[in-house]
Every structure is written in C-alpha cells, then in structure tokens.
Amino acid sequence: MSRVGKYGKRLTMAVAVLAIGAVAPAYADAISVTSGNINFLIFDSASMGLNGPNGAEVGGQIARVLSGYTPPYACASSTGGCAGQTVNLSIRDSLTSTPSGPSGSFIEGGMLLDGVRYALDNFSYNLSAGSVVTPLTGQVSTPFTFMATAVGTSSTGAIRTVEWAGAGTARADYGATMGWGQSNYTFSAQQVSATPEPASVLLFGSAIAGAFFARRRGLLQSTVRPDAR
C-alpha cells in the first residue's frame, strides 16, 4: 500500500470516530446544572433538586452525621457565638443509598437521564464557596462552584455514572438566638461541560482533513517522475 493510501485509511478511521462523537449526547460524561438548589437545614439533613439540559434531573434527600449540616459546624446551634467571625461556606461529602449506622451518611433520590429514571446509589459532591463574616443576625451570601459524581441504577439494572457541574450563589441565615438556621445554594444557568460540543468536534475534524490533503498533495508531487514534468 502506498503512503498516500495509508494516510487515506487513517483519515477515514479518524473521521468515523469524530462522527460518532458528534452525534453522541452532549452530556454523556458531564451535565451542566442550569437551575436548582441544595438546601442545608440545621442539624443533619438537606434536600436537593438540580436541572440540566434535555430534561436531565437529579434530586433527593441527603443526611450526614455531623453536629450541624450548615457550613460552620461548630456554631450550628450557638446563640450569637459566631457573630463577627469569618466562616467558609464550602461543603463536600460522599454519600451512599445504604445508611451506615442508626443515622449514618446516606442519600435517597434519583436521576432522570434520556427519559430513563435511575435510583441514586452514590453521590459525591464538592461545593466550593467563599468566606463570609457572620452577622449578629441576618443573611450572608457568596458565589460558589459545584462538582458532583452521581451513580444510579435503572429498573432494568443498568448503571449510569454522571458528572454534574454548576455554579451560583450561596446564602446562609444566622440568628442571634438560633445560630445558623439554614444555607441555600441556588444555581444559575451556565455552560459547564467536560465534553466537546458537536460543532467543535466537526471543526476539529475539518482541521484534520485539511492537514491530510495538504500532506497528500506533497506526497504526490514528490513521487512524480522527472520525465513527466
């Protein structure tokens, strides 16, 4: 096989792979959170409901053995003891659908992806937020970013792992008598994707094709017989 033929075969394979990627769902590996919220209550419970493109959803109840599920755990039930202190509103956790112990770390919920419902088996997340100064009483806010890995099982036994990503504004309430009552992380629509969009894939494929034909032209010119020039 000539060198030109070899390059042609490689191009055909590359374009085929790119074509498959172009028609695959944009959220096959990662889903951008377009709206929703995660609300942490005082003590040890929280709820979440997140939405993504093409009808994607994830929601449920999460619980954790902590002195308080609000960000500044040590001041969760203090009476004004945190006023004036700087606290960070970041939270991270890894939860499973099976409780460990009488009130362990678990999650109850599900996902809807491509019209198929999945019961949540595992949910690991990282809410990375800024720091705030605790008021004597009132609400504080700061931006946050969110990354999570959700694993679910459908009614037919199919397992799906999805990466969720998003950002928004975190708001936490502090009272002089109750301490930290709750914190709510509200998402705003934005594009956060780890997979290339179809248009980007096709553009990349065009660049490869252009490079191939430029190389092919050079090979043809170098193999022309001197008496044919």
Residue 126: the pLDDT is: 93
Q: Same domain for 158 and 222?
A: no
Q: Would you say 109 and 60 are in contact if contact means Cβ atoms under 8 Å apart?
A: yes
Which among 17, 55, 33, 27 is positioned nearest to 160, based on CA atoms?
A: 27
Total number of domains constituting the chain: 2
pLDDT per residue as tens, the chain (229 positions): 555 455 455 544 444 444 444 444 434 469 999 999 999 887 667 899 999 999 999 999 887 655 566 676 667 656 567 888 888 999 888 888 876 544 556 788 999 999 999 999 999 999 999 999 988 889 999 999 999 999 999 999 999 999 999 999 999 998 877 778 889 999 998 644 444 444 444 444 454 445 444 454 554 454 444 454 4
| Residue positions counted in the chain | 229
Residues 166, 93 share a domain: yes
Residues 49 and 146 in one domain: yes
Same domain (yes/no): 116, 150: yes
Over the stretch 103-136, which tens digit does the pLDDT of each residue have? Answer: 556 788 999 999 999 999 999 999 999 999 988 8
**Are residues 158 and 176 part of one domain?**
yes
Indicate if 207 and 126 belong to the same structural domain.
Answer: no
140 and 204 co-located in one domain: no
Nearest-10 crossing angle of helices 198-222, 3-23: 170
HSE on the CB side for 193, CA within 13 Å? 15
The reported pLDDT for the residue numbered 141 is 96
Q: Are residues 89 and 59 in the same domain?
A: yes
Query: What is the tens place of the pLDDT at every residue in 143-175?
Result: 999 999 999 999 999 999 999 999 999 999 988
Tell me: do 53 and 116 sit in the same domain: yes
Buried b (16+ CB within 10 A) or exposed e, 34-70: bebbbbbbbebebebebbbeeebbbbbebbbeeebbb
- For residues 107 and 155, give the distance between their C-alpha atoms in angstroms, rounded to a whole number: 18
Check whether residue 213 and residue 178 sit in a common domain: no
Residues 161 and 216 in one domain: no
How many other CB atoms are there within 10 angstroms of residue 142's CB atom? 15
163 close to 148: Cβ distance less than 8 angstroms: yes
- Are 161 and 188 in a shared domain? yes
In this prediction, residue 61 carries a pLDDT of 87
pLDDT at position 192 is 44
Contacts of 55 (CB under 8 A, 6+ apart): 112, 115
User: Can you give the pLDDT at residue 136?
Assistant: 86
Q: Domain of residue 16: give its range.
A: 1-26+198-229
